[in-house]
Structure 1
Amino acid sequence: MKDPKFTDISTAATPRRTSAQVSGPVPALTLISHPTPQRAGERLILEALASGGTVALSRISPDFVRPGSTLAMPLADTFLSRKPLLFDRAANGGVRLTVEEGGTLVQIGETPFTGTREFGPEELNSGVPLVLAERVVLLLHLVVSPEAHTPNDLGMVGSGAGTRRVREDIARVSDLNVPVLIRGETGSGKELVARAIHQHSPRRSAPFISVNLGALPKELAAAELFGARKGAYTGATQDREGFFRAAHGGTLFLDEVGEAPPEVQVLLLRVLETGEVFPVGGHAPVPVDVRLITATDADLEERIRQDLFKAPLLHRLAGFEIQVPPLRERREDIGVLFYHFARQELEALGEAHRLEAAASQADPWLPTALAARLVRYAWPGNIRQLRNLTRQIVIGSRGQPRLQANPRLEQELDASEPVMPSRQAAALAPAAKEPPAPPEPATPRRKPSEVTDQELLQALRSTSWDLKAAAERLGITRPSLYMLIDKSPSLRTAGDLSTEEITRCFQECRGDLDAMVQRLEVSKRGLQRRIRELGLGND
């Protein structure tokens, strides 16, 4: 297993352009929910905005199309008005939406809206849910290279930029014999990526063995992986083959590789270098031919600094790295993922006809309020959590004409107190710092809805983005502060910053973290984490 070295668009379909005609991120509208459930994931690229034009959206035009498909059609819901919503380019590089009275009822989240509203680049990066006539939910967001598409979906659902990058990486590395390290948060689909690599490799007809290292007893991990001879340890009543030998000729996927005990790390490094394993209690090496794919949600570089992981092993495991994006960074895929999982559950229940028989004149099968909540939610458990939640909603709605969430799920999804992802919550938490100044008089408790966006920004700036102090000053809980930051049109988190923006700011501020916090206006601890992840300042 050795490494081998206006243009006005109101009643006409959107003109098609090649990717060469549009450069950089382009605003788009993606269907999250529609009275015809199968239309989730269809998209309208607002290309006219790049040349100063206006896109007029009504029920009769323009056409939406699923990425990679040629079948296009307008929203075509008779409850929507023929009087269009107008989208044009804002002065700040964002998008301006104009909603005229007497037209389609538009809600931004759960708030009805008429008049003009501008959405800046930061909001577009996060995605803005628009609810039309309580019938259709659209996500206004940015896409890159809108015409680019990988024809083979590689078993992955979705067409967001992050998903496409993963598909492209899989296509690049599948036919090679190099080790692959897959990074991503828990529940983000790392094993799915590993299986796709195997299925599109020359080893596809050989075994694919999946092992969660975090679930193996540490005292037995070496024997489970590399095999053991009879009598090698108490309870070893016969020879054990081991996962490496079981995967001979195929692919071995080791999840949670960051949890590997030190002795296992040494043996992993040896098998990567020599293509041989030593069974526990054995005296002769056994050659194996295995493609090794590993995955982790841990910060391996930090574990190396803590002497918990061996740097040479990381270098050998990462023959090629694939980063799987969290669900909150691919919100445009939430609608089509929900439909995909719902269809699976309905097929298992023998009720798939409920989706096929959905009538466009009926109330939406997926209520818009629920769809909007799905888009706004932080998804700490990523794809795995969405799949489980979809199952609960579908089963809990058996016998009902429409889906509905039970009170417990509604509370979990409630946009007023969204559950923050553990990693994001950690990133937003304040860093350890010098003893704080004497506390100010306690602020009376308030509801989050009473805090204006300007108050929120002033509190954060006056506390140098110490989120605990800001929450206390505003008289709200810290989870409520996280929610307000997430919903604010003016604010962003460290996770929203691009690599280029952080790198440029790091260079211009000469690595001064406090200066970077003031310029970027994000939490200090969250920014510290991003800087560490990018390897800045390690030289």
Structure 2
Amino acid sequence: MLADVSTAAEPPRRASEAASHPVAVLTLVAHPHLARVGERLVLEDLLAGQEWVLSRNAPDFTPASSAFGAPLGDPFLSRKPFLRFNRTDAGIRVSVGPEGKCTSDGLPLGDAREWSLEEVRAGIPLELAGRLALLLHLSDPKSTSARSLPGMVGESVGLRRVRKDIERVADLDLSVLIRGETGTGKELVAQALHQQSPRAKKPFLSINLGAIPKELAAAELFGAAKGAFTGAHQARDGFFRAAQGGTLFLDEIGEASAEIQVMLLRVLETGELFPVGASTPVRADVRLVAATDADLDTHIRDGRFKAPLLHRLAGYEIQLPPLRERREDIAPLFLHFAREALESIGESHRLTPGDPYQEPWLPPALAIRLLRHSWPGNIRQLRNVARQLVVGSRGQPRLELGPRLAQELEPPLPRARPPAPESPDAEPVARRKSTDVTEPELLEALRAQDWDVKRAADHLGIPRSSIYNLIERSPVIRLAGDLSVEELTRCFHECQGDLDAMVRRLEVSRRALSRRIKELGLG
């Protein structure tokens, strides 16, 4: 979720920047007291060699909105330390004491088990005594969250980046392009942009271009003069004029016809539109936010989308991560949707503490199953699953997974991956998981491809959306948008405006650097 999702690797860090290294975190994904789901324990300095121990009474897990927390506190857990976390040469070792009972993915840990940092980065579920579940993962302490926004639940690095992007651009009168898979919450981001903008008290209209018949799209968007076509017995305003002074959100912008693309480009370039059948232009005071789950760059190469329109739409780009790449947010999101469903059926008491010896309403094994699912439908699918689980278990002491949901949440079978597109500079690479890509390998690929993110993704054999997430989580890669004006200006003059030289020095994608230079009026 990024401005042109551009990136750069920094030169060696200064001492003041040392805190940017990732830290290990334990996130509660299941607890007998349901409202505690999502609380976190940051294992400070674990990766630097400090040992951490876990017991019923210490240390404290804290919610994101508070500096105060509480220990695990479940009476079935031991008062004595039952889990130890240590850094090893290979990664992180979790040791189980005699008083502890811990499993991961259904397998007992025995006395101890070790995971590589790459495995921890992807998330390790830990089930405690059949009562609680934790997710051991890595986070970036430098990725501080912007202010909380309605509906944006979670504390993953990716979501924090989205919040920061919204905060960065909301008050500017720029068009914004939101990219992300279906169901990742693109309309929610558009609403947040509107609510945080000076236009907040004006209309917000959300239009799905894929749902409008192509022959009606022009009149629906731009309006029509009386008599412009058969049946036009009176003038029609259209969505642009209905959103006057406010924000117009166009979802599935990749579905726009060639005619609509031309008309949109005119509005963005001149601020004027011509209603269908009219000869006089109408002034349009509308902020345009567009969204797509399509690869518009491929559409441009295929002649299905106009490059100038993409450049106009993407005054700023925000990339939304898929749910499978923000696993620490799955449990808090599930709780959020479960709360809505519980309130609708009158069972809100599930959210308040009851008998501490009762069986948990959210079984930890089910919570871990939710974590491990790939969520092809992303947040929209999770909301639907939460509703079905809550309603299907109505009146029961715990959530029950029915046959249909059990089948839906089965781990997906491995599928043959298509080969990466051929490039003249590299042999085709078989598609693979982004979690298999190490940080040195990521940096090497970006440098070898002159910081062209798409070519680097093809070279590594991973989707472009996944390389963005890897970049976000890397402690040594920054966004081009994070470059200070002073640094960028100095580099511009020292390199005499040579874009290639600037790319080599700053290690920033050419496309993003060019945009920053234009924004600052340097070139």
2:195 pairs with 1:196: no
Looking at structure 1, the residues matched to 251 and 45 of structure 2 have their Cα atoms a distance apart, in angstroms, of 45
What is residue 159 of structure 2 aligned with on the other side? 163
Q: Structure 2 unaligned segments of length 5 or more: list them.
A: 1-15, 423-427, 472-507, 515-523
Instruction: State how 1:293-312 maps to structure 2 within 5 Å.
Output: 293-312=289-308
- Residue 441 of structure 1: aligned partner: none
TM-score, length-normalised on structure 1? Answer: 0.77
Which of 277, 283, 286 is matched with 1:287 structurally? 283
* Residue identity matched to 1:86: R
In the alignment, what sits opposite 1:504?
444
**Equivalent residue letter for 1:39:** R
Q: Secondary structure at the match of 2:335?
A: helix
Residue 231 of structure 1, CA deviation: 2.2
Number of the residue aligned with 1:320 = 316
Greater relative CO, 1 or 2 (CA 8 Å, sep 6+): 2
Q: Distance in 1 between matches of 2:148 and 2:468?
A: 35
Q: Match of 1:31?
A: 28
Tell me how far apart the structure 2 counterparts of residues 160 and 527 of structure 1 sit (CA, whole Å).
Answer: 20
Q: Distance in 2 between matches of 1:510 and 1:196?
A: 35
Does 2:418 align with 1:429?
yes
Equivalent position to 1:264, from 255, 260, 263? 260
Q: 1:249 aligns with which of 219, 238, 245?
A: 245
Counterpart of 2:118 in 1: which secondary structure?
helix
Give how far 1:429 is off: 3.3
- What is residue 363 of structure 1 aligned with on the other side? 359
CA distance in 2, matches of 1:200, 1:70: 26
1:187-209 Cα distance to aligned partner (Å, 9 max, x none): 00000000011011111110000
Q: Would the alpha carbon gap of residues 374 and 55 (structure 1) be closer, same or farther in structure 2, given more than 3 Å must change?
A: same
CA distance in 1, matches of 2:439, 2:237: 45
Structure-2 change in CA distance of 1:179 and 1:506 (3 Å): closer
Contact 1:22 1:50 in 2 (8 A): no
Instruction: Tell me what 2:406 maps to.
Output: 410
TM-score, reference length from structure 2: 0.80
Rounded Cα–Cα distance in structure 2 between residues aligned with 1:145 and 1:466: 34
1:74 aligns with 2:88: no
2: distance between equivalents of 1:300 and 1:509? 21
Say whether residues 1:234 and 2:230 are aligned partners.
yes
Q: For the structure 1 residues 316 and 527, does the alpha-carbon distance in structure 2 shift closer, same or farther, using more than 3 Å as the test? A: closer
Report the alpha carbon displacement of residue 356 of structure 1 after superposing the two structures with TM.
Answer: 1.6
State the Cα RMSD in Å: 3.0
Deviations 1:145-185 (A, max 9, x none): 16833343344111111111111111111111000111111
In the aligned structure 2, how far is the partner of 1:28 from the partner of 1:373?
A: 20
Counterpart position of 1:86? 84
Range with greater deviation from structure 2 (203-212 or 42-51) = 42-51
Measured against aligned partners, the alpha-carbon deviations of 1:221-253 in whole angstroms (never above 9, x if no partner) come to: 111100112222233232211100000000000
- Distance in 2 (CA, whole Å) between partners of 1:38 and 1:314 is 43
Structure 1 contact 27–95 (Cα < 8 Å) conserved? no
Cα offset, 1:50, TM superposition? 3.3
Structure 2 Cα separation of the partners of residues 109 and 239 of structure 1: 62
1:211 matches 2:207: yes
Quote the residue 2:377 is aligned against: 381
The answer to whether residue 121 in structure 2 is matched with residue 181 in structure 1 is no
Residue type at the aligned position of 1:352:
S
Tell me how far apart the structure 1 counterparts of residues 74 and 63 of structure 2 sit (CA, whole Å).
Answer: 18
May I ask how many residue pairs the two structures share in their alignment? 450
Q: 1:151 to 1:498 in 2, by over 3 A?
A: farther
From the superposition, tell whether residues 268 and 501 of structure 1 become closer, same or farther in structure 2 (CA, over 3 Å): farther
The match for 1:494 among 410, 416, 434 is 434
| Contact 2:92-2:114 within 8 A present in 1 as well | yes
Percent identity over paired residues: 54
Give, in whole Å, the separation in 2 of the partners of 1:271 and 1:332: 41
Change (3 A) 1:531 1:519: closer
**Cα separation, 2, equivalents of 1:184 and 1:115:** 42
Distance 1:419 1:382, change over 3 A: farther
In the alignment, which of 271, 274, 279 is matched to residue 278 of structure 1? 274
Distance 1:169 1:57, change over 3 A: same
1:64 aligns to what SS in structure 2? coil
Whether the 8 Å contact between 2:127 and 2:133 is mirrored in structure 1 is yes
Quick one: which amino acid aligns to residue 41 of structure 2? L
